[in-house]
Structure formats: structure tokens, C-alpha cells
Structure 1
Amino acid sequence: MGTLTGRTALVTGGSRGIGRGIAERLAREGALVAVHYGSNREAAEKTVAAIGEAGGRAFAIGAQLGVPGDADALWTAFDAALAARGAPGGLDILVNNAGINAHGRIHEVTEADYDRVFAVNVKAPFFVIRQGLDRLRDGGRIINISSGVTRIAFPAIAAYAMTKGAVDTLTLTLAKDLGPRGITVNSVSPGIVETDINPWLADPDAHAQAAAYSAFGRVGEAADIADVVAFVASDDARWITGQAIDATGGSLLGP
């Protein structure tokens, strides 16, 4: 019996990288996990297969985020997939992990780039949560994946950093709003994590520089973030809400 046995979780962007690590970790704790993907169905199915091979339970749902009607499409797919499995409706854990980057300092970011990163990273989770509240059971968990760039200035990703600041503010606001239902709302802020979406880490010099940011002298792994999320999703974190939890491995704590 895992800490999340009997619960249902949804991880947006759960097919790759940090999202996959979170999906696998929640499933290992006994949750039935909906692995959301935007366009890469094959990656999502591989994640579901890996969870099944490890003894867990998961299913894939597809919905492109950052476009009109995205939240409707996601929840329609989620409801249909649960019904097809004969599983009870509703949700206990929502992890808003899906996101995109927007490279460039302020003078390099186009209006289209800005609109796109805010549509995916801010508007989508806002309306996913809004339309998911009637499915989320009392005592549930909302966990938003933020970023260490809300604490550490990286001018080269200014617009992206702004979106994560908005996510942290949403987290704080919702924690107050949903507290009476026993729902906790927290954000988890990774630093640099070694996944396939960071191919630049394959360069030894870049990897060494990234590792030097952390107090531990290494680059983060998806499991480092997934373990924090699993804790926040558990009953052990019932008294924690409205918090932005730094999971950067102590990046840039001082000179």
C-alpha cells in the first residue's frame, strides 16, 4: 500500500522529462495517473507502459494547451478515459507541469513569443484548475510546477520567468480560496534538471557550469523533483499550503 493508494492524479505534460518522473513516482505510491500529452502520443504511451511494467496504473490523454478550448478538451478526455476504465470519476491530485520556454532577453522577445508562453504556462493552468474544481475532491492537492528563476535572475529567459512568477501568485491566492475545502495548493520550483529537453547539457563545459550552480555540485534529475511532488501530494504535507517550495538543489545561495 503506497501513500497515494486509491487516489487519482493528473499530470499535465506527463509524457517526458520532469512530468514523466512525477507520473512514475505518483504511480509508484499507488495513484491511478492520467498522463497528459500535447502532441507526442508515443512518448505518453511509453510512459504509461513503463508505469504498468513497474506495477502501477496509468492511462494517456491528449489535449493541446495554449489554444482556445484547451481546458474543455483536456477534461473531456480525462472524463472519457476514466469512464472507459470503469474507474470512478473525480480527481485527488492535479499537477500542472506542462510548460514551454521563451528564450531571449526583453529586447529579443517578440509579441507572438510572449503571447504563446503566457498562453501555455499561465492561462492554460488557470483554466484547467478552474474547470477541474468540480472534479477535485475535498482534501485534494493542486501542485504547480514553477521554477527557480522566480528567485534567481536569468535575463535570457525574461518572459518565461514572468510566467512562473504568475504561477506562484496563483498558488498563493488559490491556497487561501480553497483552504475551507481542505485542498492544499503549492508550487514546486526546480532548477536545472537533466532531461531530454535540455540537450545543451550534453556539452561537458555547460554541464559543469550548471552543476556548479547547486550547493551539491551536480545537476538535478527528474527524480529529485518527483520526490518533492510526491511528498506534497501525500497526507504528510496536509499542513503545507500556499508555498513555493524551492527544489533547485540550493542553486546560487551565495558567493
Structure 2
Amino acid sequence: MTTENEQPKKILLVTGGSRGIGRSIALNAAKRGLGVILTYNTQAHNAQEVIDDINGKGGKAIALHLDTGDFASFDGFVQKVSAVLREEWNRENFDYLVNNAGIGQRSLIQDTTEEIFDQLVNVNLKGVFFLTKNLIPVIIDGGQIINISSGLARFAFPGSAVYSALKAALEGLTRYFAKEFASRKIRVNSVAPGAIDTEFGGGKGNEEQRKQIAAAAALGRLGDADDIGLFVSSMLSDDSRFVNAQRIEVGGGIMI
């Protein structure tokens, strides 16, 4: 953590940082001395708990509302980010963007409506594309973007067809981001969690289902949010300076 009078050298913006994996990324990044801007959509109370935790330990964190499926709000959001950077850190840009916000799917193909399909596309792919496009001018040269994908982009379970296809598309988009932002030395990678025991992921369910999923991993257990948060925060430094355009799965060796 930074001390009260010390400004952090690097700043992270993580979407969906109020709970689960995003919360863990925010908390672990702050432990490494990063300033944190986290976004929330409906979980304002949870977001406040995260920033209170970070600020109470001598770090600096700010929470901003963002619906990643509301593209019309992105210009205003970028203006808010710029204002926060100037007011809180006396900076015009930030260093790291983690596109974590997303929504899951629990419907078989025959039960998936056009409304469900479009909502999944808007939040999990289109929102990531246009939010990143809008934020790129505010990301420092030599910065880094991490897109949170899913192990489901590699293996298949019934009920996740659209979500999984979108995560596969996100991994392809990651490579194009890396290619087109290379002139500014901005690195872009994707991190694909396996079965993680959070409200969002496949970890929550009946005990028999949990055991079956855990047995599919070489390490013999479900992951937890910190398994991902610790790894992602470890990438947010120059230690990963030559890692670019990669898909890194963090799943305990699931489905190998």
C-alpha cells in the first residue's frame, strides 16, 4: 500500500470491481501500490466496501458507476475518469485497464431468446470494444490492457453457448487490440478463469455439481476469486513487459 501522503506511481481502472474477481483484482492491485478506479453497475454498496477497504489501509481508490452495455454513456464516463485522474492523482492518464465486467448465461440454445443473445453480445463483447476504444486516449503509452475471458472459450458445457462464443471472440479481439495499439507500446492480453467459486461463475450450484467440476481440474478443486485476482494483479507491472497478445488460462488444469 502507499502511505497517506504518497501518490501511487501506477493507476488501474477495473470494470465490474464491486464483487467477485473484479473485487479481488482491485484489492490485490492496491496491495501492490496501485491507485484504483473501479466501476460498478448495480452494486453500489459493495463498491463502497471495496474502496473503504483500500482507502482505510492507506491506498487510494475511487468508484464510478458504469453500465458496460450502455454505449451512449461511454463519452460521459471517460470525462468522469479524466476528472478523477486530475483531481485525485494530478494526472491526465492511467496505466492499466482490466475489462472484467460481464454477464453470464444459463440457457440452452433452444431456450435462448434474441433478447438474451443481444444482451450478452452488448455487455461481453460490444461493450468491451467500444469502452476500450473510448478509453485508449486516456491510457498511457506503454500501458497494458487485460481482458477477462473464460475457460469456456476452450471447452464446452451446455447452457453457455453464446457466452462461450463471445469469450472466444474476445480473445480474438485481444490480439487485434495488441496489433493496432502496438505503435503506442500498449500490451493487451486475455486471462481466462476456469471454474471459479463465485456468484457469477460455475462454482455456485448443488454440491454434487461442485464436486464434478472440481474433479475436472488437475488440482482437484474449484478456483476462488483470489486465484484470479492475485494473478491479474501480478501482471500489472513491468515484470510482464514482454507478454503481449496472449491468452493465459488460470484454471488449475481444468479439462486437460
| 1:67 pairs with 2:82 | no
Kept in 2: contact 1:62–1:77 (CA 8 A): no
Kept in 2: contact 1:102–1:109 (CA 8 A): no
Distance of 1:60 and 1:185 partners within structure 2: 24
Q: Any residues of structure 2 matched to 1:1-255 within 5 Å, and which?
A: 5-85=8-88, 87-198=90-201, 201=204, 203-253=206-256
Distance of 2:147 and 2:247 partners within structure 1: 9
Distance of 2:157 and 2:204 partners within structure 1: 17
Of stretches 196-205 and 129-138 in structure 1, the one that deviates more from structure 2 is 196-205
Distance of 2:204 and 2:67 partners within structure 1: 27
Q: Structure 1 residues 221, 60: CA separation in 2 closer, same or farther (over 3 Å shift)?
A: same
Give the TM-score normalised by structure 1: 0.93
Kept in 2: contact 1:22–1:225 (CA 8 A): yes
State the one-letter code of the partner of 2:14: V
Tell me the CA shift for residue 86 of structure 1. Answer: 5.1
Using the aligned pairs only, state the percent identity. 38
State the one-letter code of the partner of 1:219: L
Q: Structure 1 residues 142, 198: CA separation in 2 closer, same or farther (over 3 Å shift)?
A: closer
Distance of 1:86 and 1:236 partners within structure 2: 24
Distance of 1:227 and 1:200 partners within structure 2: 18
Distance of 2:201 and 2:247 partners within structure 1: 23
Tell me the CA shift for residue 202 of structure 1. Answer: 5.7
Give the TM-score normalised by structure 2: 0.92
Name the SS of the counterpart of 2:212 in structure 1. Answer: helix
Tell me the CA shift for residue 64 of structure 1. Answer: 1.4
Distance of 1:243 and 1:24 partners within structure 2: 24
Aligned length: 252
Distance of 2:52 and 2:126 partners within structure 1: 31
Distance of 2:186 and 2:71 partners within structure 1: 28
Tell me the CA shift for residue 223 of structure 1. Answer: 1.1
Distance of 1:48 and 1:121 partners within structure 2: 25
Deviations 1:23-80 (A, max 9, x none): 1111111111001001221111111111123332111000212123132232223223
Kept in 2: contact 1:71–1:124 (CA 8 A): no
Tell me the CA shift for residue 200 of structure 1. Answer: 6.4
Of stretches 205-214 and 145-154 in structure 1, the one that deviates more from structure 2 is 205-214
Tell me the CA shift for residue 232 of structure 1. Answer: 2.2
Distance of 2:205 and 2:107 partners within structure 1: 21
